[in-house]
Structure 1
Amino acid sequence: MEFIFDAKHQESVNKKLSSGNVVVSKLLIFPIKSCEGTSVVESTYTTDGLEFDRWWTIIDASNHKLFTARAIPKMVLIRPKVVQDPTDPDGGRLEISFPSDSDCETFSVPLRPTPSTLQQWTLVEDCSVHSMTNMDGYITQPHSSSGSEASLCSAVLSRFMGRPVHLIFKGPRPRPAAPTWSFEKLDPFVGYHDGYPLHVASEESMEGVKAMVKKWSQEHAEDSSDPQIWDTKSMVIERYRPNIVFKGAVVPFAEDMWREIVISPASGFKGNSPPSGALIRLLPNVDPASGLRNMSVPSKPLLKFRKGLDPGRPAFSCFGANAVPAGEGILRVGDVIAVKTWDNV
């Protein structure tokens, strides 16, 4: 089973692009790394990504390592909600809630903490995740409107996580993203993202993933060591945690060939896209609705059908593309996507 993006397919995509049929169908932000995402109809952005996206993360209280849903799948059930308030000095609050059976109460933290607010918080300067080190963050305290003790945030999260943890807000130290094989001079800065400010993917690519999972499952139905047949209905694009989802590109994985894109009417936006940039590990195997992880899918099917597409990491499979905004502006659902430059064209 192969998905081949050839010159004929590119011509078809170009026709769709020129007719304005390729549009943003969904915008997603993930305020707390590895926790539930929020679908929004519009979002402001800077060169660092969408507003509020991965501004917070959860760390181990003892060694300051970041936790992700790869290790603790139920993190995807933590629900952050952005509540903006222009009359609030801190811009509003991030309201954090938990599953009803968790016995964990909802609490809120400042949304855009002011310098005076941050001065009251402890700065942790030695956070790390995967192979990335030297990350910083402020240990958050409850929003002033809650009247709660300073330890509430850590206490509630620790109860849910089953170990001592802290919620931290990105600190002042710039965190550059590494250059890619296709963009050696790329120099974006990120919050608590794994690598780049944005992840772009298409609805058509997600349908391609479902087809791959279905075929792989059928091939392994009689394999006693891996008997699971995956319900593709649970294969939602949120598993891959993209920021910008588009539709109308005719074929799956058209974004593999996009090097620079312009999204209009948002002015000044270009996506510098390392092709096939989103590397698949175990996080997409976690069902965002249940918090349960399957150890096989979609990671194993994608390793069979989508491996070796990123020359920089040939052992990994890929879905979607990483992206870096070239400026600032507002993105909206319904904005039209145009490809400025294609890969190897």
Structure 2
Amino acid sequence: MGITVHELTYYPVKGCAGTSVETSRVVGTGLEHDRVFMVVDAVDGSFRSQRAMPAMAAVRPAVRDGGRELRLDADGAGELVLEVDPAGKRIPVSLFGTPVGDAVDQGEAAADWFSEVLGAPSRLVRVRDGFDRAGWGETPGRAAFADAHALLVVSLASLDGLNARIEEAGGTGVPMNRFRPNIVLDGCGAPHDEDLMRRISAGDVELAHSVRAMRCAVPMVDQATGLRAGPEPVRTLAAYRREPVYDNKVSFGLKAAVLREGVLSVGDAVEAEWYANGAPDPGRPAS
């Protein structure tokens, strides 16, 4: 048995819960509907993240009617159903301190709902038509409101290898959702095989290696409760997955760019072109 697609997940609102699907269209910025919405500070337009607000993990968005409607739900906050505004008022927004242009504000009801849930004045925005943001790395690709790349690819073998180390040290393994991948692969022969994939073909889609994924504090957040539950898995990753050229951050997973759009489904066979001597480091993004 070869490598197959085990799971597909998109995250409609950056930092909030994902939606797992059996089939997805893959567009230039990743899985359809992935991170097309973002919560921002109501004053300066900077993005909100689980890094500072882990409660975002417990917000459950659902895209409806082909993206024309968005349902938001969180324990204790009730449900809000929004008619998506693709062309309304625009406000400037930023990611990691870098302006990324204007995004479409989704109105007062969404702003009030997120402000209450997160305990800080917030607004919900959507990517505007024509939004085109470059990634970086060996194959930069394009991204919507993802950190910098279209897709995050992780293998079950990598998670199994990590959890074996955690459990050997007396800890409890973590679920895959701690890493918030878009594509989970089954059938890889060894942990971190995805690091060595130069090209990936599956379904109608072709992907390319951008960078290895550097991890922050988000994997220490319980994605069901929105509470920090560290120090694992970052503590164990730090023992064997540090990347000296990235200020000793830890890596887990592959960030990939979309070379060919199409349809991707769970169960699709995966064909990979492999690096002969390990994946090269693509260097830092241009500042």
**Residue of structure 2 in register with 1:221 after alignment:** none
- State yes or no: 1:83 paired with 2:64: yes
> Of 260, 271, 276, which residue of structure 1 is paired with 2:199?
260
Matching residue's letter, 2:133: R
**Residue of structure 1 in register with 2:246 after alignment:** 313
SS state at 1:34 partner: coil
Unaligned regions of 5+ residues in structure 1, if any? 1-19, 86-90, 142-150, 219-229
**Residue of structure 1 in register with 2:273 after alignment:** 340
How far off is 1:299 after superposition?
Answer: 1.1
Structure 2 distance, partners of 1:96, 1:152, is 11
How far off is 1:343 after superposition?
Answer: 4.8
4+ residue runs over 4 A deviation:
none
**Residue of structure 1 in register with 2:78 after alignment:** 105
The structure with more radius of gyration: 1
**Residue of structure 2 in register with 1:284 after alignment:** 219
> Of 97, 104, 110, which residue of structure 2 is paired with 1:138?
104
**Residue of structure 1 in register with 2:48 after alignment:** 67
**Residue of structure 1 in register with 2:132 after alignment:** 174
Alignment of 1:230-241 (within 5 A): 230-232=171-173, 235-241=174-180
SS state at 2:195 partner: helix
**Residue of structure 1 in register with 2:163 after alignment:** 210
Matching residue's letter, 1:250: G
Q: Deviations over 1:31-74 (max 9, x none)?
A: 00110011100000112111000000100101111110110111
SS state at 2:200 partner: strand
How far off is 1:174 after superposition?
Answer: 2.0
Q: Deviations over 1:208-262 (max 9, x none)?
A: 11122224x44xxxxxxxxxxx432xx1111111101011113211112111111
Matching residue's letter, 1:191: A
Matching residue's letter, 1:154: A
- Using a 3 Å threshold, how does the CA distance of structure 1 residues 43 and 173 change in structure 2: closer, same or farther? closer
Task: Give the number of equivalent residue pairs.
Answer: 277
Q: Deviations over 1:276-335 (max 9, x none)?
A: x11111000001112111342111211111112xx7525111111011111211000000
Matching residue's letter, 2:176: I
**Residue of structure 2 in register with 1:326 after alignment:** 259
Structure 2 distance, partners of 1:175, 1:291, is 29
Conserved? CA contact 2:51–2:218, under 8 Å? yes
Structure 1 distance, partners of 2:133, 2:124, is 18
Identity of aligned residues (%): 27
Structure 2 distance, partners of 1:21, 1:37, is 27
How far off is 1:136 after superposition?
Answer: 2.6
Matching residue's letter, 2:36: W
Which structure carries more strand by proportion?
2
SS state at 1:271 partner: strand
**Residue of structure 2 in register with 1:94 after alignment:** 70
Matching residue's letter, 2:273: K
Structure 2 distance, partners of 1:152, 1:162, is 15
Matching residue's letter, 1:68: S
CA RMSD, aligned part only? 1.8
Matching residue's letter, 1:236: P
- Using a 3 Å threshold, how does the CA distance of structure 1 residues 274 and 188 change in structure 2: closer, same or farther? closer
Matching residue's letter, 1:271: L
Unaligned regions of 5+ residues in structure 2, if any? 279-287
Structure 2 distance, partners of 1:110, 1:289, is 26
